[in-house]
Amino acid sequence: MAIIGIDLGTTNSLVCVCQDGQVRLVPNSLGQVLTPSVVNVEANGEICVGAVAKERLVTHPSDTAASFKRYMGTEKVFTLAKRSFTPQELSSFVLRQLKEDAERFLGEEVTEAVISVPAYFNDHQRYATREAGRLAGMQVERLINEPSAAALAASRLSGQEEGSYLVFDLGGGTLDVSVVDYFENVIEIIAVSGDNHLGGNDFDEVIARRYCEAVGIIYEELEEHEKASLLRLSEKCKKELTARKEAVLIFGPEGQAFTFTNMLLAESCQNLFDRISQAIKNVLRDSRRTIDEIDEVVLVGGSSRMPVIFLFLQTFLGKSPCMIGSPDEIVAAGVGTYAGIKERKQEIRDLVLTDSCPFTLGTNVANHSDHARPIMSPIIERNSILPSSKIGYYTNAYDGQSHISIGIYQGESYYCEDNIELGKIEMDILPVRKGEAMIEVRFTYDINGILEVEVTDRYQNKTERAVVTSRNFRLSEQELEQRLKELNTYKLASSGGIRTRLVLARGERLFAQLLGDERREIVEVMQRLEKIMNEQNDQKIANSLREAEAVFDRLEGLEP
């Protein structure tokens, strides 16, 4: 059976396969390779994923979710159509849709996938991604860091035998900045940094807030559907500024207009640029490289297309970034290549991908100034090459201490309470004098993100072991199977008639956004289309759909 590669994005997702030594992006039922990572739940429990769901963000905001990847590995719950879903369950619907698209393309069943994740994803987020794959009915043995995938694709596309890349990956919801080396068929991540809550969506919000400020609207007081509509228009404005010098945003009952330029956008986004520059400084510092030692700055992610991003990077780094292939597709191409390697496709030369630990892993030690706030003691530091196995040596904190509690933490903060607690090992020790106990703590972290911890009391030659999991965020095997059965009762919308669904959803969204004569025109188009649909004449329906799309394009100002 085929192994598919999936780029599970915050804004859009892609699926690819490897055939005859070539990576092929799989089109969805609309013939597009980009599937919006948006989920809509209808009253009858039917699930819509992709373009139709994206249209319903405006008309049915309480039944539709987007950008849920930002909350992977948290306890966030989304309520859609009076039903509750975790971020990984919503992601599983996207993955299931991609799986069905791939099966239709290949003509065979798919049971395994390689999925890309931001290099800056922590342990909870990585586990949640695997869990989403399981809930979609696929085995996910391997996650691949997005910069590794981008470097893999870039090296194949450029034909370079070796090089050093700074991979700048700005997606819809996350920022990854990585230094990656490629040499002798080895791709090695040297350092990673980033921001899991910074992406193109934040630029959309800046545009929306700047518009409100200019026309006297209070952004926080907008209704949920009004915010969704304004953000949709802000995204359109942002995309127009990629190709034009200025773009006009018109919103609200009075149709107030405001003109944006890239210069104004740059000025309005200074806070976001400060966060981007900090991530770049961090990754160069951790890699112990200067920008002059980097061969290429590779742009990845649809949001990296923005001219303000290009100009900022050019100014900040003193080096022009480049696009090797499509920034929307390069990660997917790399994941597809790796899926081919995993399938042992003879046409693809075997490569070694090394991963690094994105966050420091450590344990707690006593804080003699404040016993309530133990201090983080690093064992495996961030950017360590995986797999990694390292030992920390500790002792008892006071005379007669007979018990120790070894906390397992992930993060860079001085105090343990400010890091993520992954687990804990409790152990009884011999009650000896302070400083005489010999406690050895070994952390072993493998390439699949599984952490094993061993705590050994050398006095007793006694060892406690644990494979670290977090009950707060993870389902047991039994719970996972039960939830999989429950989610399978939700049926994905049939691929048949998807174009009709999309046109109707688009019409509903434009009706909600526009006023006056434009609204009346939409009503006429929708009623005409619905009447022809009842006749069940495929040719007439196709003609009516084309006419409706032409009208909607004009109303949105999309005509060439």
**Which strand (E) or helix (H) includes residue 75?**
none
Query: Contact, 28 vs 101, CB < 8 A?
Result: yes
**Which strand (E) or helix (H) includes residue 408?**
strand 403-410
What residue has token string 């493998």? Answer: 446
Active site residue 524: no
> CA 477, 74, 470, 456 torsion: positive or negative?
positive
CA distance 155 to 477: 39
Burial of 266 (0-12, 13-18, 19+ CB in 10 A): middle
Of the residues 54, 55, 69, 457, only one is catalytic, namely: 69
CA distance 106 to 112: 14
* The two structure tokens encoding residue 115: 């999925």
List beta partners, residue 78.
Answer: 85
Active site residue 63: no
> CA 205, 220, 60, 260 torsion: positive or negative?
negative
Of the residues 89, 123, 146, 188, only one is catalytic, namely: 146
CA distance 314 to 293: 16
Q: Is the peptide bond before 61 cis (omega within 30 degrees of 0)?
A: no
Active site residue 355: no
Nearest-CA neighbor of 265 among 229, 225, 303, 302?
303
Q: What is the dihedral of CA 253, 256, 262, 268, to 10 degrees?
A: -80
Query: Contact, 526 vs 504, CB < 8 A?
Result: yes
> CA 214, 240, 35, 548 torsion: positive or negative?
positive
Burial of 523 (0-12, 13-18, 19+ CB in 10 A): exposed
Give the three-state DSSP class for 173. coil
Query: Contact, 451 vs 442, CB < 8 A?
Result: no
Nearest-CA neighbor of 419 among 433, 431, 409?
409
Q: Strand pairing of 296-300 and 163-170? A: parallel
* The two structure tokens encoding residue 369: 């100034």
Of the residues 169, 188, 226, 355, only one is catalytic, namely: 169
List beta partners, residue 439.
Answer: 394, 457
Indicate which residues carry an active-site annotation: 7, 69, 146, 169
